[in-house]
Amino acid sequence: MRFGYLHSFVTTLVKTRQSSKHFCTFYCNVKTKAVPAVDLFFNKRVQTTLQPFCRVKTRYSFITRSKKTFTLSVNNLPKISDKPQNDNLYKGPEWDSTVGKAVRLAQLEYPECIILTRVGSFWELYFEQATRIAPLLDIKLTKKKFGQEYMPFAGFPLQHLDRYLTTLVNDHGFAVAICEEFLNDNNDEKIKFKRRVTRIITPGTLIDESFLQQDKNNFLLAISLDEKTNHVGLAWIDITTGQFFMAMCGLGSLSDDLARIRPSEIVLSEQFKVNKEHLIWQQLTHEKYAFAYESIKSFDATIPQPWQSDLQYKGGIEEVFSGVEIQASAALHRYISKNLIERFPKIQLPIRINPENTMIIDETALRSLEVITSIRNNSKKGSLVHAIERTKTKSGARALDQWLRFPTTSLSEINKRLSIVEYFYHNTHLTSDIRQILQEVDDAQRTSQKISFDYCGPDDFIKLKRTFEAMGMIKMRLQEELKLTSSSSLEALVERLQSQGDIIQIITEAIDEDALLRNKEIPVKSGLAIDDINSEIEGVATEFSSNEDKGVELDNKGKNKNFNKKRKDKRNTIKKDDKKSADINFEEVQDLIKADNWIIKKSFSDEIMSLHNQLEALYFDMIKLRKRWQTELKSPSLELRSHPSFGFIVVVKRKNNCNLEQALNATRIQHFKSKKWFIVQTWTHLGGKIEGIKSKIRGTELNSFQIIRNKISDNWNVTIRNTTVIDEIDIASSLAALAREQNFVRPIMNNSNIHKIVGGRHPIVESGLQMKERPFTKNDCCVGDKERVLLLTGILCQSPNMGGKSTFLRQNAIISILAQIGSFVPADYAEIGIVDRIFSRVGASDNLYGDQSTFMVEMIETANILKHATSKSFVIMDEIGRGTAILDGIAISYATLHQLHYVNKCRTLFATHFHELANMTNHFEHVAYYCTDIKEIENGSFHYLHKVRRGVNQNSAAIKTARLAGMPNSVLDVAKNTLRSLRLYNKFVDLDANIIRNFNLIES
């Protein structure tokens, strides 16, 4: 039975009675507030009474009328915790466990995090978090005993960490604290391992996790708000590459900037965590973001000190960035420091995104034009970036993604990019060679950042070396071509590419690539000192200790040499009949050295060379010793082995009659069916020397890795500048390859308001039709100074392969975007004036969560266009006013056209089914009328022409489309009769000339 909690810090006498059969008196120290659980062997419910009594210090007596006395030592009672008792985390027997205490302390320090604790070869969840998280991860929830209580517990193997981090971090947006396990160096403590949180993993602070998307940036964004002016400061960084940006915007346009940045995580001031009614939340609910919060003090108005040395600007940092931007960067620095704990990323010089130098594509336009993701399934497939991406490198793909989100408005920058693309376009052999070499270029941005974090291994060094070699080849090939055909833009780009031969040299001299191929699992990982790596090795070796009937040979990393059965050499086991002379000893020694798989070449330093020479000498001694014993004891099967539990042992077959105890003064330790194990001091002494030298070589290898890492880290800025150049070359060559493949042309760019496209095509639709072996119908578009607004009437259908009206609108907006990233465009001819903003009001959607109907969303988007469009903007609008009554819709459509024509004066493509608007706007000076048609066949069928022509189409072909969709004939007949009646009796549907004349008088 278990007594309840007492509320006194004095010793208490507890009397228990039941049916006068049993009487029990015991004394209990209740300083812990809990009487210990004691089984008094009662079968029925027992009532208790409490009364104060004197303090008992040493023993407690249990007396019953059955005349049996029980004594219980004070040490067997629950221990008194030194933690306060006012919080649930402080209660319970888990505080007396090493693991339980470490978990509870981590939960106290990081209350917002899921604590993953390493215990041996598992990551484990405990207590309330195990109950909550186990179902999400689909792992078994069980219990673990702490003291006398069983508490919730769950876990999974080490190798599955990335798999479950994907679920926790990417899918659910949790912050995960990694509580690592370390050997305890303090010999005075009895604890073998200590545990502490080494890193907090959140969606925005990923480093090298396998689920990190390689073709997209992983941005962490901080937002600072000036409540007086509603100015918003934005600072965002990709920790994996060090790319750092800042910008300032208004509170009303924050959602548009977030759509372009697409952060994985947003850091806000903690004041917004409490105040969910703040206006900022109206801008943050459009997408599903992961949020984190920092104190108000973190948003300090000073640039973080660790960044000061890297951010050198003429006139000071305050001259370049606003106060709110610097505040956001301060919070960003604080959050990164808190989560990465022991490390901080290297950062690039921050780039300020200036609206004056960037084409602004708002959230609606990004979605409707499918620039980054497809509308249908929100995936990359079916988007513009998917249609044009031909890059060979991962960093090039990320750079192209950024170019599409932030097209430039700098005419000189655009023409420079176009000139480089044109150079590759005309030099096909050069393009082919460069793209071939680019396949050898690794993601140097993320690899070098990993190395600076110490999250690296020898493989990363080799990848970086090959990348630098490929960069040198690219520079050499381009210089050769430039001697034949000059290009000032490309020459300036190539000159920025710097040689990194010193890093190539040190990696070549240090790393043995052949050994690396043989062994790709050498751990060179951050947070692990030499002792930590050795502890991992011990753990691996222990796994093989239960293999009793086989001696286990271990290499220098503690791995079973016999585990891979394909290995024919047994390293320390050399059969006598395979050797014909002593001359083979040298070959055996070389085989042993080779089997050790040392990653650092012995020629890298005098110290390593000396250690390897000593190891070779000891291997000679070992082989001689084994052969001498095999000969003297007439035991050709005698083997010298290393065992994780017994150390260095001598193994002979059981049927061998040699008496090792007498001949070698050996001690027998194991006796199996086929073999006997002995310990011989001579071999133990020699084996100890061998392991001592191996341990020193491991230490020098770790030091050598650190030397290489420091060299790469010191040259990080050069690496980043070179990768930026390679990204531009990759994008330019890929756009040239795309232009040849899809027959794109170089656009003529200028600062006018012209948009003249001959034979324009929609790149996304065209690529889809090509897969079906169907042609795309080209269309011309000329909109600008004289005809600023194109009013497009015609076929109802908006599907790209139906009437073609919506496709026509979108393709012209997309052509402008492509031109301003420096790409050739899908057309026969293109002359385009610089566009400052792209606006799109195409397609129907609602926002039920925000209590907004389809028509309300349409009006909000229209209002945004009318408020912000300038004479340099490009606007596409489709079906304004269709979500309401006909006359109301016509009125709103007309008013919108009137505003765009007379006030905004921007280039506009305006599609509508209200063909009455053609008559209503015939007095607009800068409006032109275009339409789409169908072609009817004698048998009553028809097909869409997809061709845009001048004129007005009075028929939307709605009933014909309904027939094509499979509408029942009876419904179609009713629709025809109804339409005929409406046209006959309802004159308001077709506004005649008198009505138009009266309308114009009212307007004037």
Residues 950, 838 share a domain: yes
Prediction pTM value: 0.80
Last residue of a domain, one of 25, 46, 76: 76
User: β-pairing, 647-653 with 175-183?
Assistant: unpaired
Question: In the 3-class helix/strand/coil scheme, how is 249-286 assigned residue by residue?
Answer: EEHHHHHHHHHHHCCCEEEEECHHHHCCCCCHHHHHCC
Residues 199-222: tens digit of each pLDDT? 999 999 998 778 888 889 999 999
pLDDT above 50 for 886: yes
Residues 559-581: tens digit of each pLDDT? 334 434 333 443 343 344 444 44
Sort 528 into a burial class: Cβ within 10 Å, 0-12 / 13-18 / 19+.
middle
Residues 615, 472 share a domain: no
CATH number, domain with residue 113: 3.40.1170.10
> Once rounded to an integer, what is the mean pLDDT over residues 745-756?
95
Residue 745 CA to residue 619 CA, distance in Å, equals 70
Sign of CA dihedral 723, 729, 731, 733: negative
CATH number, domain with residue 231: 3.30.420.110
Mean pLDDT of the chain: 79
Residues 584, 537 share a domain: yes
Sort 647 into a burial class: Cβ within 10 Å, 0-12 / 13-18 / 19+.
middle
590 CB-side CA count, 13 A:
5
Sign of CA dihedral 477, 479, 483, 488: positive
- Would you state the pLDDT for residue 87? 52
Residues 615-631: tens digit of each pLDDT? 988 988 888 888 888 88
Last residue of a domain, one of 133, 167, 201: 201
- What's the structural domain count of the chain? 7
- Would you state the pLDDT for residue 804? 67
Residue 805 CA to residue 790 CA, distance in Å, equals 12
94 CB-side CA count, 13 A:
23
Minimum mean pLDDT range among 220-229, 719-728, 983-992? 983-992
Distance of CA 664 to the CA centre of its chain: 61
Range of 188-197, 475-484, 539-548, 938-947 with top mean pLDDT: 475-484
> Once rounded to an integer, what is the mean pLDDT over residues 101-107?
90
Residues 648-678: tens digit of each pLDDT? 888 888 776 667 777 788 888 877 777 888 8
Residues 293, 424 share a domain: no
Place of tokens 């119908």: 777
Minimum mean pLDDT range among 205-219, 382-396, 929-943? 929-943
Residues 27-68: tens digit of each pLDDT? 444 333 333 433 333 333 334 333 333 333 333 333 333 334
Residues 314, 272 share a domain: yes
Which range marks the domain in which residue 111 is found? 88-201
Range of 180-189, 293-302, 619-628 with top mean pLDDT: 619-628
Residues 949, 805 share a domain: yes
- Would you state the pLDDT for residue 820? 97
801 falls in which pLDDT band (50, 70, 90)?
very low
Looking at residue 678, the DSSP 8-state letter turns out to be E
> Once rounded to an integer, what is the mean pLDDT over residues 726-753?
96
Place of tokens 């006359």: 887
Whether 118 maps to a domain, the answer reads yes
Q: Are 2 and 37 in contact (CB under 8 A)?
A: yes
From first CA to last CA, the distance across the chain in angstroms is 95
Residues 439, 408 share a domain: yes
- pLDDT > 70: what percent of the chain? 76
Position 967, amino acid = M
Residues 941, 806 share a domain: yes
Range of 170-174, 233-237, 316-320 with top mean pLDDT: 233-237
Range of 88-92, 148-152, 603-607, 820-824 with top mean pLDDT: 820-824
Whether 755 maps to a domain, the answer reads yes
Range of 168-172, 256-260, 380-384, 418-422 with top mean pLDDT: 418-422
489 falls in which pLDDT band (50, 70, 90)?
very high
Dihedral angle, C-alpha 377, 382, 384, 390, nearest 10 °:
130
Q: Are 569 and 579 in contact (CB under 8 A)?
A: no
Last residue of a domain, one of 353, 380, 406: 353
pLDDT above 80 for 401: yes
Residue bearing the bigger pLDDT, 205 or 934:
205
Whether 364 maps to a domain, the answer reads no
pLDDT above 70 for 320: yes
Whether 963 maps to a domain, the answer reads no
Residues 756, 737 share a domain: no
Q: Are 629 and 700 in contact (CB under 8 A)?
A: no
Whether 710 maps to a domain, the answer reads no
249 falls in which pLDDT band (50, 70, 90)?
very high
- Would you state the pLDDT for residue 17? 38
Whether 82 maps to a domain, the answer reads no
CATH number, domain with residue 736: 1.10.1420.10
At 663, which helix (H) or strand (E)? helix 660-663
- Would you state the pLDDT for residue 913? 81
Minimum mean pLDDT range among 478-487, 684-693, 810-819, 880-889? 880-889
Residues 737, 590 share a domain: no
- Would you state the pLDDT for residue 628? 87
Whether 562 maps to a domain, the answer reads yes
- Would you state the pLDDT for residue 443? 93
DSSP notation for 941-996: -EEEEEEEEES------HHHHHHHTT--HHHHHHHHHHHHHHHHH-GGGS--HHHH
Minimum mean pLDDT range among 170-174, 496-500, 696-700, 797-801? 797-801
- Would you state the pLDDT for residue 989? 42
Sort 245 into a burial class: Cβ within 10 Å, 0-12 / 13-18 / 19+.
buried
- Would you state the pLDDT for residue 941? 61
118 falls in which pLDDT band (50, 70, 90)?
very high
Q: Are 857 and 364 in contact (CB under 8 A)?
A: no
Residue 488 CA to residue 676 CA, distance in Å, equals 79
Question: In the 3-class helix/strand/coil scheme, how is 810-861 assigned residue by residue?
Answer: HHHHHHHHHHHCCCCECCCEEEEECCCEEEEECCCCCECCCCECHHHHHHHH
Residues 761, 682 share a domain: no
Whether 770 maps to a domain, the answer reads yes
Residues 731, 695 share a domain: no
